[in-house]
Amino acid sequence: MSFTSEEVNYLIYRYLKESESRADALDVQNGDVQPGALINLIQKGLLYMDIETHMNPDGTSSECTVPFTLIGSHKCDKTAKKHKREEAPSSSNKRERREERRLQKDAADRDRRSKDIPDQQFRDNDDMDVDRVPLTEISPIYASGNNQPSPPEPNGKDVPPSVIPSEDVITLDGHEQEVFVCSWNSSTPAILASGGHDATTRIWKIPQSKNSPYEEPIVLKAVFNGENSEPGSQKVVVMDWSVQAGLLAIAYADGTARIYTSSGDLRAVLEQHNKSILAIKWNNKGSYIATASMDKTAIVWDPNTANKRQAFDIHQDVVMDIDWLDDMTFATCSRDHKICICQIGVPCPLKTFIHDNAVHSVAWDLSNRFLASCSDDCTAKIWSMTKDEPIHSFTHPARVFVVQWCPIIKTTRQQPTRFIATTCADAVVRIWDVIKGELRHELSHSAVSQSIAFSSDGKYLATASLNPTLCIWSVKSGKLCRTYKTDAQAIFDVCWISIPNGDKYRLAAALSNGSVLIVDVRL
């Protein structure tokens, strides 16, 4: 399929003319509209028309070398169709084409944040030898598929043998709308915070088991100015717990942020951004908070005074993410294709890295020497402060939304393994070996993964997507270990408790139906 910007503009012009509509951008302005939304919808529409047109009654598809276009009727290549009837492809080729089209059709276009798991015990481990790792670009076609499990089916007809039993799941109800984020208090692991579209944050004290009594949550309902109370402006977007002080920083869609204690006391209100905050992070010491906003700025705050320490007006577009390198230095990324390394007290970036398209996510590794990033240019890259070019550029077949480092896994070998995981618009989560510069596993899903999270020991990866099923994967083998089908249409966020309890792990999941799940996973 193919189309040009002129064809898109022509269709928009024809629609406005035929409907006699006079549109004003201010009338329909909405911060929730994703970049490139119209183009994505057009692409998916053309893909659906392609599938619908070329599907045979027996479920097979007809070959056609003529691409679908945006304007004009489609005329199939008759020679190709005749050849298709005369020489039917093998059943394996049919399955491959159907699977490829299913993944493309089901892949939604929504990027969500995922959180790094604090794990101080691994911060002083051996570092990667940059000079020994060649600059390379790895394509997913070289991945081995021997250990790849089939994606869990959303209809639940084929129940996997490793399903998590319902007695190991606690359901927390109270939110009136979708829950977007959840986060464990790292200083008090039994405390979980959740926030969502109903403009509330709930702080839960989680019981040891499903049969244990548990307290009602503390409900945090922020008070907003009337002038900023448009629908959706009060929803909770992101949150982060301070490692040292156990304080909770919450960012809202109206551009404000608030700091609460774990008992629900309001400590500070941070007011400077004039559009939604997309990322909020404490530094390790808890002395500063950094925020990234749709207003194209990043701000560092003093949590004790609620004053702005420094504003960084260094990007030309929305600032998508932020992550601390140390207590004074951090990285930002933006839709302007840039990654900026900033330091408090310094007005200009210390270093700038460039992608070929919007950058969604950045994350420093636990040694704080290497930065991972992912972008709409279909790559995830590994950077070093000592080099201007990326150490690795990992190629994907579609846009990449989230990147996260796996805690370092100690092995009997001299050099420890080091992995990153990425989520992609093709509904596949990939695990990459950063030491070797190659693809390790492809984890197929039936919808785009909203959130990914490594267990604190680096052995397992949890994935949450725009379908009802929570998946737990083995990082070592790439096999699907456990699944749990929820009652919601989608899972927006997932996070592990910091420390596993023997062979039992605990994680939380935020659901589209307003529930929060506490899942005990026995592995």
Within this chain, do residues 329 and 460 fall inside the same structural domain, yes or no? yes
Within this chain, do residues 93 and 238 fall inside the same structural domain, yes or no? no
Within this chain, do residues 245 and 321 fall inside the same structural domain, yes or no? yes
Residue 96: how many other CB atoms lie within 10 Å: 12
The reply to whether 113 falls in a domain is no
Within this chain, do residues 471 and 439 fall inside the same structural domain, yes or no? yes
Contact 201, 189 (CB under 8 A): no
The reply to whether 39 falls in a domain is yes
Q: Please, what is the average pLDDT of the chain?
A: 80
Expressed in angstroms, the distance from the first to the final Cα of the chain is 45
What residue numbers bound the domain in which 358 lies?
Answer: 120-522
The single-letter DSSP state of residue 501 is: B
pLDDT tens-digit series, residues 380-405: 999 999 999 999 999 999 999 999 99
Distance CA 372, CA 292 (A): 17
Distance CA 480, CA 444 (A): 10
Residue 224: how many other CB atoms lie within 10 Å: 15
Please tell me which residue, 344 or 148, carries the higher pLDDT value: 344
The reply to whether 426 falls in a domain is yes
Q: Where are the alpha helices (DSSP H) in 55-193?
A: 78-86, 91-106
pLDDT tens-digit series, residues 37-53: 676 677 767 776 766 67
Within this chain, do residues 316 and 398 fall inside the same structural domain, yes or no? yes
Residue 385 pLDDT: 96
The reply to whether 112 falls in a domain is no
**Per-residue tokens: 405:** 């480092």
pLDDT tens-digit series, residues 49-63: 766 677 665 555 666
Within this chain, do residues 60 and 184 fall inside the same structural domain, yes or no? no
Within this chain, do residues 98 and 153 fall inside the same structural domain, yes or no? no
The reply to whether 111 falls in a domain is no
Contact 122, 407 (CB under 8 A): yes
Residue 500 pLDDT: 64
Using pLDDT thresholds of 50, 70 and 90, give the confidence band for residue 4.
low
Q: Is pLDDT above 50 for 144?
A: no
- Secondary structure class of 249 (helix, strand, coil): strand
pLDDT tens-digit series, residues 308-363: 999 999 999 999 999 999 999 999 999 999 999 999 999 999 999 999 999 999 99
The reply to whether 468 falls in a domain is yes
- Of the candidates 472, 489, 486, the one whose C-alpha atom is nearest the C-alpha of residue 517 is 486
Task: Quote the number of domains for the chain.
Answer: 2
Within this chain, do residues 334 and 410 fall inside the same structural domain, yes or no? yes
pLDDT tens-digit series, residues 171-197: 999 999 999 999 999 888 899 999 999
pLDDT tens-digit series, residues 250-283: 999 999 999 999 999 999 999 999 999 999 999 9
Residue 503 pLDDT: 73
| 334, containing H or E segment | strand 329-334
Chosen domain end from 106, 128, 157: 106
Within this chain, do residues 86 and 195 fall inside the same structural domain, yes or no? no
* 271 Cβ contact partners less than 8 Å away, ≥ 6 residues apart: 255, 256
Residue 258 pLDDT: 97
Using pLDDT thresholds of 50, 70 and 90, give the confidence band for residue 233.
confident
CATH number (domain holding residue 449)? 2.130.10.10
Within this chain, do residues 210 and 280 fall inside the same structural domain, yes or no? yes
Within this chain, do residues 62 and 182 fall inside the same structural domain, yes or no? no
Output the pTM of the full model.
0.71
